[in-house]
Chain A
Amino acid sequence: MSEAPIKKVEGITKESTQAMIDHAMEIYPEKAKKKRAPHLAPNEGEGACVKSNRKTIPGIMSARGCAYAGAKGVVWGPIRDMVHVSHGPVGCGWYSWGTRRNLVTGVNGVSQFAMQFTSDFQEKDIVYGGDKKLKTLLNEAHELFPLAKGISVLSECPVGLIGDDINSVAKIASEELQIPVIPCNCEGFRGVSQSLGHHISNDTIRDHIIGTREFAEPAGPYDIALIGDYNIGGDVWSVKPLLEEIGLNVKAVWTGDGELEKIAATHTVKLNLIHCYRSMNYMCRVMEEKYGIPWLEFNFFGPTKIRESLRKIADFFDDSIKEKVEAAIAKYDPIMQAVIDEYRPRLEGKKVMLYVGGLRPRHTVNAYADLGMMVVGSGYEFAHGDDYERTSPEMPEATVIYDDASEHELEQFVDELRPDLVGSGIKEKYLFQKMGIPFRQMHSWDYSGPYHAYNGFPIFARDVDMAVNSPTWKLVKAPF
C-alpha cells in the first residue's frame, strides 16, 4: 500500500505542457498574456515554478473570492460559540450563509450560531456611518444570544470606504457586555484574494484572543492543538478521535467546530499540528515566537500520507506515543487496504486535475495515488510561493501548474488533457460535467465527507469511484 509518488506521466513533457499553456493564452490580449504567463508553468520538481499572490487580471473570469470570504467563510465563521456579524449590506453574509459546510455541534441559536447576522446597511448607513447601528446591534445580539461567548465584527467593503471606526465601537462594547467583541477589518477590496482575509483574521486572533484564557486543568505533555481544520463535512470529527487514539490531548481546534475560549488558551499547548498551512501558518508562527510552541505540518488525506504524518507526529513525543501510533497504523492499514482493494481496480491509471484552495491541490495528490490515480495538473486560487514550493515535489514531472487560473485556461487544459476526474469548486463543476468529465467539488466534498483521516478515506474513495464510474457518463452521447 505504500505508494511512492508518481513521477512521470506518459505523454507529458516540459515541451508539451508549455505548448498547451501557450495555446491557451493565444487568444489573450498582449497585456493579459504578459501578466498571465508567469502564473502558468510545467512542474519543475522543486521550488515555486509559478508566480502567485498577485492581483487578478480584470475580466479573466477568476474563481477567487475576497478578504471577507477568507475571514467569514474560513477563519472566523467556523467558531461555533460566537455570533459572527457580517457588517455592511445584506449580500455578503447571505452568500456565505451555510455554504462552506463547516459543521458545528450544539443547539442552533442557543449554543452555536451558524446563522446569518448582518447590519443590513441601507443608504443612510453609508451616508451617516454605521457605528451607531453597530453599537445597537451588538447589544441586541448579546441580549438575544446570552450564551454566545463572543462576537466577531467582519467588515464588508463599504465599512472601510466610509471610514467607520469599528475598532473603537468593538472595544467599548467588549467592556460593556463583558465578552470579547472582535473587530476584523476584512473588507473585500483588500488584498488580491481570500488569502489576506485569513491573514487579517489570524492577526485579530493574535491581537484580541490568544492568551486571554487558560485551561482549568493542569497542562499535560501530550497537549496539542489542531490548526487549520475547518470541519468540512465533519473532518474534525474524524481527525480528533485519531489524534486521541494515538495518545494526544486535542485541547483546541482552529477553527472547525471551534470554541472561542479554547482557542484563547491554545498558547499553553506543547505542539500545534497544522493541516491548512495557507490559512493559519501566521498564528503558528506567532505562537512559536511568543510562546515557543513548535508546529508541524501534516497531511491526513489517504493512508500513505496519514501513516507518514502519524510517524512524523510521533517523533515529537516519547515512546508511549510512538507505540500507539504504530498500533494505530497496524490497526487501520488492513482496513485501508480493503478499501484500496475494492476501488483501485476501477480507478487504476485514471487521470485527475485539481484546482482548489488552501492545501488540497497538494495534500490530496497522494490520496489519489493510493487509489492508483495520477494528478496531471494542479493549482490554487489564492496560494503563495511557499505553497507552490510544497506542491512541486508532490506532482509528477512537467505536469501543468496554474495559479489563479481563469475559466478559459482551465477549460483549455482539461480539453487537452482529458482527465477522468476534475476536482475543483462549484463554479467549475457544471462546466466540466457539460463536457462529459466527471467532477467532484473539492472545497465542500460535494456535500459528502469527511475526507480527512482514516474515517475519511473510505468515503473519499467511494465518492471518487462514484464520480468516475457513474453509468450516467455512458449516456452522454445519444445513439442517434
Chain B
Amino acid sequence: MTAEAAVKYVTEIPEEEVKRVSEWINSEEYKEKNFARQALVINPPHACQPLGAELAAHGFEGTLPFVHGSQGCASYYRSTFNRHFREPAPAVSDSMTEDGAVFGGQNNLHEALENAYTIYKPKMMAVFTSCMPEVIGDDLTAFIKNARNKAIVPQDYPLPYANTPSFNGSHVHGYDAMLVSILQTLTEGKKIEGRCTGKLNLIPGFDCNTGNYREYKRILKEFGIPYTLLADISDTFDSPLDGTYRPYPGGTKLEDAADSINGKVTMTVGPYASAKTFTWIKDNYSGTHVSLPTPFGVTKTDALLMKLSELFGKPVPESLKAERGYAVDAMTDAHQYIHGKKFALYGDPDYLLGYISFLLEMGARPYHILCSKGTKKVEKEIQALLDSSPDGKGCKIYMGKDLWHMRSLLMTDPVDAMIGDTHGKFAARDANIPLFRFGFPVFDRVNLHRSPLIGYQGAINMLTAICNKFIEVRDETCEDRHFEMMR
C-alpha cells in the first residue's frame, strides 16, 4: 500500500444524508430498531441511588449529607439540587481515590468524619455510598463502629448510613434506603410503651417540589392535626435571602423524628419511594400505618382527606371543602381545553401515577406512559388506573424504556403534550409539543418547585399551566382570521 493510498481525508456529512437520516429517525422502521435495543440506554430520565439519599438527608435538621466514595459524585449530586432548587446544597465526600481501591475506604471515611464534624458542625451526618466502596465491598457497619470507638465522633452521635449502589435501582431507592436508616438511627431506644404523641408522621417520598411540602403542612393545619413531616426539605431548599447564609436552614427536627416512633398515625404518600421505610415502620412504629398514593388530582386528595378525617376523628374542615369546590369549579371551567387531549408522560412511579389520575379526571388521555425504573407492581397499578376510565382505553405503558424510545413514540404516534422534567425538552421540541415540567429536575425554568402539585390547589396549578399553554399555542399558531378576543 502506498503512503498516498493510506491517507484518509476529512469528510463532511452530505446535506442529503442529514436530511435522509433526519426523516428516518422519525419512522416506524426506526422505532422498531430503537425498541429492539438490548444494551444501549439513551437519555434515561432517572438518576442513581445516592442522589435520592442526599435528598432524604437534606430533609433533617442540621444534617450534613456525607458521600462515601469518589468526590466527583458528591459534586454531581450537589449541582443537581443547586440547579433545580436554585439553592445551596452543602454536602461532603471522603474523596476516595486509587489507594482507597487497594486499602478500602476506612481511612478516608474517618478523616472526613473528623473534618466535617469539626468544620461544619452538623447535628447529624447521613452517610451513603457511591459506586467505588460498593464495588470493593467496604464494610460500613464496621467502619462506623470503629469511628465511634476511636472517638472520631461522640459515641451517641447520630451517624445513619445506607448502602446506595448506583448499579441498582434509581434515586427513589436511594431515598428510601437513606430515610429508613435515618429513622432507625434516630428512633433507636425511643419507643415508649403506652406513649402516643397524638401526631401524624407524614412521609412525602422523593419529592423535589417544596410547594408540595408546604401544602401538606397547610392541609394538616387546616385540619388541626398535629404532625411531623419526615424528611421535610421545604425550608432546606426554599430558604429566605436576608443576608445570612445558613448551611442548615430547615429539616425535620431530630427530636421530632426520634419521637415519631410513638406516633398516632404514620402515613406515606410516596409509597414507591418509601417501600423499605414503610415496611420497617410497620414492624416498629406504634399506632396506625397507612400507605396512600401521592395526592395528585381531586380523587386522590379526597382519599387523603377522608383518611385523615377517619384516623383523627375530625370532620374535613369547611375551608378544605370549599377548596375542593374551587378546584372542581376550575376543572369544569377549563375542561374544554384539555378534554380528549393526548399526553405523553414519564417520571418516577409516584408522580407518574399522580399525573395519570389527574388527566383521567379531566377527560384527557395519558397516552404514552413511560417509566424508566419501575416494578411489575407499578405497571399493574398504572394499568388498573387506565382500566378505571374510558379515557384510559388504548393508552400504553412502557416499562424500562428511556427518552429516546419516547422520541420514537412521539414521532410515530403523536400526542398533544408531554409531562415530565427538563430532560424531555429535546424530544418535545422535535415533536413540536409543549412540555410541562412537573417532574424533577427542572433546570430551565424558574420557581416551578415553589408551586404545589398535590392537593386541590395542586390540581388547579397543573390545570392552569396546561390549559393556558394550549390556548397560548392556539393564539400563537392560528391564522389571523381565527385570532380572536375570547378563548
Residues of A within 8 A of B (CB): 27-29, 31-32, 55-69, 81, 85, 88-92, 94-99, 106-111, 115-123, 125-126, 133-134, 136-137, 140-141, 143-144, 146-147, 156-158, 160-162, 188-192, 194, 212-216, 259, 261-262, 264-265, 406-408, 411, 425-427, 429-436, 476-478
Residues of B within 8 A of A (CB): 7-11, 13, 17-18, 21-22, 25, 30, 33-34, 37-44, 46-48, 50-51, 66, 69-73, 75-80, 82-83, 86-98, 100-101, 108-109, 111-116, 118-120, 130-132, 135-136, 165-168, 170, 239, 241-246, 404, 407, 423, 426, 430, 443
Task: Name A472's closest neighbour in chain B (CB-CB).
Answer: B241
Distance between Cα atoms of A146 and B112 in the complex (Å): 47
Evaluate contact between B18 and A107: CB separation under 8 angstroms: yes
Q: Across the interface, which residues of A come within 8 angstroms of B88, CB to CB?
A: 427, 430-431, 434
Evaluate contact between B92 and A90: CB separation under 8 angstroms: no
Distance between Cα atoms of A43 and B46 in the complex (Å): 45
Can you list 17 A-B pairs with a CB-CB distance of less than 8 A?
A28-B115, A28-B118, A29-B114, A59-B93, A61-B91, A64-B71, A66-B72, A69-B72, A81-B13, A108-B426, A110-B25, A140-B37, A161-B135, A214-B7, A214-B10, A215-B9, A478-B242
Evaluate contact between A59 and B17: CB separation under 8 angstroms: no
Evaluate contact between A62 and B39: CB separation under 8 angstroms: no
- In the complex, what's the smallest C-beta–C-beta distance from B67 to chain A, in angstroms? 10
Evaluate contact between A95 and B80: CB separation under 8 angstroms: yes
Given contacts A120-B41, A147-B18, A477-B242, contact A91 B114 (CB under 8 A): no
Our pick among B9, B17, B21, B245 for the contact of A216 (Cβ within 8 Å) is: B9
Our pick among B80, B115, B242 for the contact of A29 (Cβ within 8 Å) is: B115
Given contacts A59-B113, A96-B76, contact A91 B82 (CB under 8 A): no
Evaluate contact between A64 and B131: CB separation under 8 angstroms: no
Evaluate contact between B22 and A110: CB separation under 8 angstroms: yes
- In the complex, what's the smallest C-beta–C-beta distance from A88 to chain B, in angstroms? 7
Distance between Cα atoms of A262 and B11 in the complex (Å): 9
Evaluate contact between A140 and B39: CB separation under 8 angstroms: yes
- In the complex, what's the smallest C-beta–C-beta distance from B389 to chain A, in angstroms? 33
Evaluate contact between A158 and B135: CB separation under 8 angstroms: yes
Evaluate contact between A110 and B245: CB separation under 8 angstroms: no
Evaluate contact between A61 and B239: CB separation under 8 angstroms: no
Evaluate contact between B245 and A435: CB separation under 8 angstroms: yes
Our pick among A32, A143, A433 for the contact of B33 (Cβ within 8 Å) is: A143
Q: Across the interface, which residues of B come within 8 angstroms of A111, CB to CB?
A: 13, 18, 21
Our pick among B11, B166, B243, B245 for the contact of A431 (Cβ within 8 Å) is: B245
- In the complex, what's the smallest C-beta–C-beta distance from B438 to chain A, in angstroms? 19
Evaluate contact between A117 and B72: CB separation under 8 angstroms: no
Given contacts A89-B131, A115-B43, contact A58 B95 (CB under 8 A): yes
Q: Which of A66, A89, A90, A122 has the most CB of B within 10 A?
A: A90
Q: Which of A110, A111, A161 has the most CB of B within 10 A?
A: A110
Evaluate contact between A158 and B131: CB separation under 8 angstroms: yes
Evaluate contact between B71 and A56: CB separation under 8 angstroms: yes
Our pick among B21, B41, B86, B96 for the contact of A118 (Cβ within 8 Å) is: B41
Q: Across the interface, which residues of B come within 8 angstroms of A162, CB to CB?
A: 135
Q: Across the interface, which residues of A come within 8 angstroms of B242, CB to CB?
A: 434, 436, 476-478
- In the complex, what's the smallest C-beta–C-beta distance from B151 to chain A, in angstroms? 13
Evaluate contact between B42 and A62: CB separation under 8 angstroms: no
Our pick among B75, B94, B407 for the contact of A58 (Cβ within 8 Å) is: B94
Q: Across the interface, which residues of A come within 8 angstroms of B93, CB to CB?
A: 58-59, 62
- In the complex, what's the smallest C-beta–C-beta distance from A189 to chain B, in angstroms? 5
Q: Across the interface, which residues of B come within 8 angstroms of A107, CB to CB?
A: 18, 22
- In the complex, what's the smallest C-beta–C-beta distance from B365 to chain A, in angstroms? 27
Evaluate contact between B89 and A140: CB separation under 8 angstroms: no
Our pick among B10, B82, B95, B98 for the contact of A427 (Cβ within 8 Å) is: B82
Evaluate contact between B132 and A157: CB separation under 8 angstroms: yes
Given contacts A161-B132, A190-B98, A430-B82, contact A91 B43 (CB under 8 A): no
Evaluate contact between B112 and A213: CB separation under 8 angstroms: no
- In the complex, what's the smallest C-beta–C-beta distance from A187 to chain B, in angstroms? 8
Task: Name B429's closest neighbour in chain A (CB-CB).
Answer: A108
Distance between Cα atoms of A96 and B72 in the complex (Å): 11
Distance between Cα atoms of A143 and B80 in the complex (Å): 32
13 extra interface residue pairs, beta carbon distance < 8 Å, beyond A56-B95, A427-B88: A59-B66, A85-B40, A108-B430, A111-B21, A120-B41, A156-B131, A158-B131, A215-B10, A261-B10, A264-B10, A426-B83, A433-B241, A435-B244
- In the complex, what's the smallest C-beta–C-beta distance from B246 to chain A, in angstroms? 7
Given contacts A56-B71, A64-B71, A69-B72, contact A189 B96 (CB under 8 A): yes
Q: Across the interface, which residues of A come within 8 angstroms of B22, CB to CB?
A: 107, 110
- In the complex, what's the smallest C-beta–C-beta distance from B15 to chain A, in angstroms? 10
Evaluate contact between B40 and A141: CB separation under 8 angstroms: yes
Evaluate contact between B404 and A115: CB separation under 8 angstroms: yes
Distance between Cα atoms of A189 and B93 in the complex (Å): 12
Our pick among A28, A97, A215 for the contact of B423 (Cβ within 8 Å) is: A97
Evaluate contact between B116 and A90: CB separation under 8 angstroms: no
Q: Across the interface, which residues of B come within 8 angstroms of A160, CB to CB?
A: 101
- In the complex, what's the smallest C-beta–C-beta distance from B167 to chain A, in angstroms? 4
Q: Across the interface, which residues of B come within 8 angstroms of A140, CB to CB?
A: 37-40
Evaluate contact between A58 and B112: CB separation under 8 angstroms: yes
Q: Across the interface, which residues of A come within 8 angstroms of B94, CB to CB?
A: 58-59
Distance between Cα atoms of A64 and B423 in the complex (Å): 25
Evaluate contact between B243 and A65: CB separation under 8 angstroms: no
Evaluate contact between B10 and A262: CB separation under 8 angstroms: yes
Evaluate contact between B73 and A90: CB separation under 8 angstroms: no
- In the complex, what's the smallest C-beta–C-beta distance from A315 to chain B, in angstroms? 29
Q: Across the interface, which residues of A come within 8 angstroms of B34, CB to CB?
A: 144
Distance between Cα atoms of A157 and B165 in the complex (Å): 12
Distance between Cα atoms of A119 and B136 in the complex (Å): 20
Our pick among A32, A55, A141, A426 for the contact of B97 (Cβ within 8 Å) is: A55
Evaluate contact between A57 and B115: CB separation under 8 angstroms: yes
Distance between Cα atoms of A81 and B11 in the complex (Å): 12
Q: Which of B33, B80, B167 has the most CB of A within 10 A?
A: B167
Distance between Cα atoms of A432 and B241 in the complex (Å): 10
Q: Which of A63, A121, A214, A262 has the most CB of B within 10 A?
A: A121
Q: Across the interface, which residues of A come within 8 angstroms of B423, CB to CB?
A: 97-98
Our pick among B10, B25, B48 for the contact of A94 (Cβ within 8 Å) is: B48
Distance between Cα atoms of A57 and B95 in the complex (Å): 7
Evaluate contact between B82 and A90: CB separation under 8 angstroms: no
Distance between Cα atoms of A476 and B354 in the complex (Å): 38
Distance between Cα atoms of A32 and B112 in the complex (Å): 10
Distance between Cα atoms of A58 and B99 in the complex (Å): 13
Q: Across the interface, which residues of A come within 8 angstroms of B246, CB to CB?
A: 434
- In the complex, what's the smallest C-beta–C-beta distance from B293 to chain A, in angstroms? 26
Distance between Cα atoms of A118 and B7 in the complex (Å): 33
Evaluate contact between A427 and B79: CB separation under 8 angstroms: yes
Our pick among A60, A88, A214, A434 for the contact of B131 (Cβ within 8 Å) is: A88
Distance between Cα atoms of A216 and B7 in the complex (Å): 10
Task: Name A109's closest neighbour in chain B (CB-CB).
Answer: B25
Evaluate contact between A119 and B115: CB separation under 8 angstroms: no
Distance between Cα atoms of A328 and B91 in the complex (Å): 48
Distance between Cα atoms of A431 and B114 in the complex (Å): 23
Q: Across the interface, which residues of A come within 8 angstroms of B25, CB to CB?
A: 109-110, 144
Distance between Cα atoms of A407 and B167 in the complex (Å): 30
Distance between Cα atoms of A192 and B48 in the complex (Å): 23
Our pick among B48, B69, B95, B115 for the contact of A90 (Cβ within 8 Å) is: B48
Q: Across the interface, which residues of B come within 8 angstroms of A192, CB to CB?
A: 97
Evaluate contact between A194 and B72: CB separation under 8 angstroms: yes
Q: Would you list the 9 A-B pairs with minimal beta carbon distance, nearest first?
A: A66-B72, A59-B112, A91-B48, A58-B112, A59-B115, A95-B76, A89-B166, A137-B40, A137-B39
Q: Across the interface, which residues of A come within 8 angstroms of B111, CB to CB?
A: 31, 57-59
Evaluate contact between A92 and B76: CB separation under 8 angstroms: yes
Q: Across the interface, which residues of A come within 8 angstroms of B118, CB to CB?
A: 27-29, 32
Q: Which of A137, A157, A190, A477 has the most CB of B within 10 A?
A: A157
Distance between Cα atoms of A400 and B127 in the complex (Å): 33
Evaluate contact between B42 and A68: CB separation under 8 angstroms: no
Q: Which of B72, B115, B119, B239 has the most CB of A within 10 A?
A: B72
Task: Name B426's closest neighbour in chain A (CB-CB).
Answer: A108
